[in-house]
Amino acid sequence: MRDFLKRHQIPLLITLLVLVIALVYSANLRKKTTTTLFERAVLTLTEPLQLGIDRTGTRIKSLWNNYLWLIDTRQQNIATMRVNRDLRARLLGMREVVLENQRLKRLLDFVEADPRKVLPALVVAEDASSWARTIVIDKGLRNGVLEGQPVVVAEGVVGRVIKVATNSSRVLLVTDASSSIAGLVERTRTRGVVRGNGNDLNLEFALRNDLVEEEDLIITSGMGGVFPKGLVVGRVAAVQRNKFGLFQQIKVTPAVDFSRLEEVLVLMDPVE
């Protein structure tokens, strides 16, 4: 027996390694949103380094943009001043609307639909691969972040937290191929599943008979329990309806520009 083991040491070791790794991978497939001790340790250790590099990069970029690369700044300034003047004029009119809104809300005893606390976070790193779409944010367990919490920006949905370490977390973006969220076409109320495909999104399982058009707004439907209802996901970019089949193919452009993501908001659990 010992001779056999010694003679076939390397092939046996390779077989054992491959088996162990296949088991580790298949076990982890079922618990995507569980952070292992190893992942937590590495994320905790690298967070200060990533934060440091990110801040240095941001400083260098701002130095370049604010003090060195100032071509067209005067023209932009003139245009901005003009827009600013228009907006100020419009704002005066809006104030009256806000006051009226507050008065009406008080009258109706309005209760906020989703009284969630939001936690602002900085994006400190991105996915290291060319195919997956995840980001690392600078808030973690210490700030109350938990796996599964939705992440948004003012423009719309960003993704959901999948791994949490002490001071940092990883967020799976909606554009990732393994991400899917329950969506709704705002105008027609057509339901579907929004799946990522790298840079854009697809609305799958939308019934063919519903007349979805380009530029229609896609929002979260609130099904699935992760995202609250009504968050903007994107706009319909193209619709393809075949002569046969139950569903239509809908391409969606995300509302969020993921290449310029710097700050995000984590939606904490609803206030009890």
17 binds another protein (CB under 8 A): yes
Residue 68 or 78 having the CB closest to another protein: 68
Asked if 173 contacts 258 with a C-beta cutoff of 8 angstroms, the reply is: yes
Query: What is the C-alpha separation between 46 and 80, in angstroms, rounded?
Result: 40
What are the C-alpha distances in Å from 230 to residues 4, 158, 194, 237? Answer: 65, 14, 14, 19
Asked if 139 contacts 169 with a C-beta cutoff of 8 angstroms, the reply is: yes
Q: Which amino acid is at 168?
A: S
Residue 23 or 94 having the CB closest to another protein: 23
Residue 186 or 205 having the CB closest to another protein: 205
Q: SS3 of 217, please?
A: strand
What is the DSSP secondary-structure string of 122-168? EEEEE-SSSS--EEEES--GGGT--TT-EEEETTEEEEEEEEE-SS-
Which residues 107-136 are close enough to bind another protein by CB under 8 A? 124-134, 136
Helix, strand, coil % over all residues of the chain, rounded to 5: 35, 30, 35
Pull the structure tokens for residue 254. Answer: 């995300």
Which residues 207-236 are close enough to bind another protein by CB under 8 A? none
Contacts with another protein, 129-168, as mask; x by CB under 8 A: xxxxxx-x-------------------------x------
Contacts with another protein, 22-61, as mask; x by CB under 8 A: x-xxxxxx--x---x-xx--xx--x--xx--xx--x---x
Could you report how far apart the first and last alpha carbons of the chain are, in Å? Answer: 64
Contacts with another protein, 68-107, as mask; x by CB under 8 A: ----------------------------------------
Contacting residue, 178, 214, 238, 262, with another protein by CB under 8 A: 178
How near is the Cβ of 57 to another protein at its closest, in Å?
6
Give the contacts of 127 (CB within 8 A, at least 6 positions apart): 133, 134, 135
How near is the Cβ of 85 to another protein at its closest, in Å?
35
How near is the Cβ of 213 to another protein at its closest, in Å?
24
Q: SS3 of 60, please?
A: helix
Residues paired with 249 in a beta bridge = 240
Q: Of 90-98, 171-179, 224-232, 262-270, which segment contacts another protein by CB under 8 A?
A: 171-179
Q: Of 12-20, 68-76, 87-95, 150-158, which segment contacts another protein by CB under 8 A?
A: 12-20
Residue 4 or 25 having the CB closest to another protein: 25
Residue 4 or 131 having the CB closest to another protein: 131
Asked if 192 contacts 210 with a C-beta cutoff of 8 angstroms, the reply is: no
Backbone angles phi, psi at 122, to 5 degrees: -95, 140
How near is the Cβ of 53 to another protein at its closest, in Å?
4
Q: Which amino acid is at 86?
A: D
Q: Which residues bind another protein (CB under 8 A)?
A: 10, 13-14, 17-18, 21-22, 24-29, 32, 36, 38-39, 42-43, 46, 49-50, 53-54, 57, 61, 124-134, 136, 162, 172, 176-178, 195-198, 202, 259
